[in-house]
Amino acid sequence: MSSDPLDQAKAHLDAGRLDEALAISTPLADARDAPHRALAMQSTALKGLGRREDALAYDLRAVARYGASGVAWHNLAATLGDLGRGAEAVRAMNEAFLRGVDGALSWGVMARAMCAAGDLDGAERAYQEALKRAPGRVEAAAEYADVIWMRRGDLAAAQAVLDRAAHAGGDPAPLLLTKAKFYEAAGEPDKAADLLALAAERLPDDPAIQMAAGQAALERGRLDEAERLALKAERMYPDAPGVLNQVAIVCLALGKPDVALAKARKGLELAPDNQSLWGWAATAARAVGDPLYRELYDYDAMVRPYDIETPEGWPTLEAYLKDLAAALDRIHLYEQHPSSQSLRHGSQTLFRLTGSDDPAIQAFFRAIDAPIRRHIAHLGEGADPLRRRHAAGYRIEGAWSVRLKPGGFHKDHFHPEGWLSSAFYVETPDSALDSAEKQGWIRFGQPPFATDPPLPAEHYVRPKPGRLVLFPSYMWHGTVPFTTDERRMTIAFDVVPA
């Protein structure tokens, strides 16, 4: 390895050893005469650990010290965009362009910044510029295709972007995975399953393709095919936690919950904080009657509603929620749901709401601080997978809004990147909530496909405007579809220990 400490830090970064990279880069980046490379590396490592606000401080130092560097302004724009501060990111990216930056990566940063700033026409032009410079760039093609889909619901146009990237030499596996997600989002799951089955034949050594094809087959009831593909992936990577997770999923559908639990436990030995594995381990434990299920799914202790106080500056909670709804309406710019999310028949904001400068949205994050802290205190400390991550503080990791139309719902899902997850209700479909079917309620415990034995939802919480529901991120949750001619608007976010 090179004797240059920054080369050593870069090697740790490339290997995913972020704490080790920080141990080297921090004293170099904190020096008064810190080189640009040290500041950039420090920011990259901090962002990898989810510490974006800390990373921003180093990017700001870089542009203050190395203001003639287009790369410094590019890095600042990327971090601002990650934080949801779209208008500032656009300004920073324009500074980068003035200093000679003009690559595909920079145009991708500009496209995301423009999306966050609400300039969707500008974002599309920026994606086109990125793809002119790197026609096979998968990330830019996938993001551009999603913008087309969400704005216009044009499946053919979205997939044409992916096809052009494939013809330009883009990596076929992620492009095929993305194309299948568009079919599923457009209500054509059989086409998605068929595409992935063909991909699995043509890319037999790609475990992601094998697992995705197996999952699609499972969801279409093609269980023999799902099992064959999952076991093939396991033979290729017998100690990969993600592969073991997929085998557990298939075993649950096949009526082999004991095998599913064993596979999930093996995966957890390798990745003890993997929230997806804990979610599926809980499901398998429920199916076999293992006490692990009630340890992980203690609804009384772990799922709690909190009604927020009226934020300062508003006379009533109703007045505040009206202003919050108006603020969210202004940033719900899309007509269709994203291709890779759980909602159907609605729209979702795609940048971090924590970066918004709207007074009502800023007030929301102040209003939820006390309930979050009460919930963490209520959970307390313990040895179970939820409580053992208890910390004195917390950080909001992602925050977005969903607006459902009549007939809208969330497919049952969990949040593998979180610790605690949430649903906050801004507007609710009140007539639907009173129905015998609990239309519009949030439900817990039901996996997203048929299992053997069946595992229906066990717990429901009735929404109401101003109510925040907090629960473990590994816990299945979804929305009972509602059919009344009403809207449902929510904010959701994940919390991680800090």
Q: What is the CATH number of the domain that holds 385?
A: 2.60.120.620
Q: What is the mean pLDDT of residues 232-236?
A: 94
Q: How far is 241 from 274, CA to CA, in rounded Å?
A: 8
Q: What is the pLDDT of residue 409?
A: 73
Q: What is the pLDDT of residue 407?
A: 73
Q: What is the pLDDT of residue 1?
A: 58
Q: Is residue 446 within 8 Å of 414, Cβ to Cβ?
A: no
Q: What is the mean pLDDT of residues 194-198?
A: 97
Q: Is residue 439 part of a domain?
A: yes
Give the number of other CB atoms < 10 A from CB of residue 293. Answer: 19
Q: What is the pLDDT of residue 482?
A: 87
Q: Is residue 293 part of a domain?
A: no
Q: What is the mean pLDDT of residues 47-74?
A: 97
Q: What is the mean pLDDT of residues 453-463?
A: 96
Q: What is the pLDDT of residue 342?
A: 73
Q: What is the pLDDT of residue 350?
A: 87
Rounded to two decimals, what is the model's pTM?
Answer: 0.93
Using 50, 70 and 90 to split pLDDT, how confident is the model at 394?
very high
Q: Is residue 76 part of a domain?
A: no
Look at residue 379 and tell me whether its pLDDT is greater than 70.
yes
Q: Is residue 215 within 8 Å of 225, Cβ to Cβ?
A: no
Using 50, 70 and 90 to split pLDDT, how confident is the model at 481?
confident
Q: Is residue 40 part of a domain?
A: no
Three-state DSSP state, 338: coil
Q: What is the pLDDT of residue 404?
A: 84
Give tens-digit pLDDT for 297-352: 999 999 999 999 999 999 999 999 999 999 999 999 998 988 887 777 789 998 99
Using 50, 70 and 90 to split pLDDT, how confident is the model at 486?
confident
Q: Is residue 22 part of a domain?
A: no
Per-chain mean pLDDT for the chain: 95
Domain span holding position 360: 300-497
Q: What is the mean pLDDT of residues 102-125?
A: 97
Q: Is residue 31 part of a domain?
A: no
Exposure b/e, 304-333, CB count within 10 A at least 16 = b: bbbebebbeebeebeebbbbbbebbeebeb
Q: What is the pLDDT of residue 341?
A: 76
Using 50, 70 and 90 to split pLDDT, how confident is the model at 416?
very high
Q: Is residue 53 part of a domain?
A: no
The tokens describing 268, both together, are: 């957890």
Cα torsion angle, 436, 439, 250, 193, sign: positive
Q: Is residue 21 within 8 Å of 9, Cβ to Cβ?
A: yes
Q: Is residue 122 part of a domain?
A: no
Task: Look at the chain and report how many structural domains it folds into.
Answer: 1
Using 50, 70 and 90 to split pLDDT, how confident is the model at 51?
very high
Give tens-digit pLDDT for 6-15: 999 999 999 9
Look at residue 452 and tell me whether its pLDDT is greater than 80.
yes
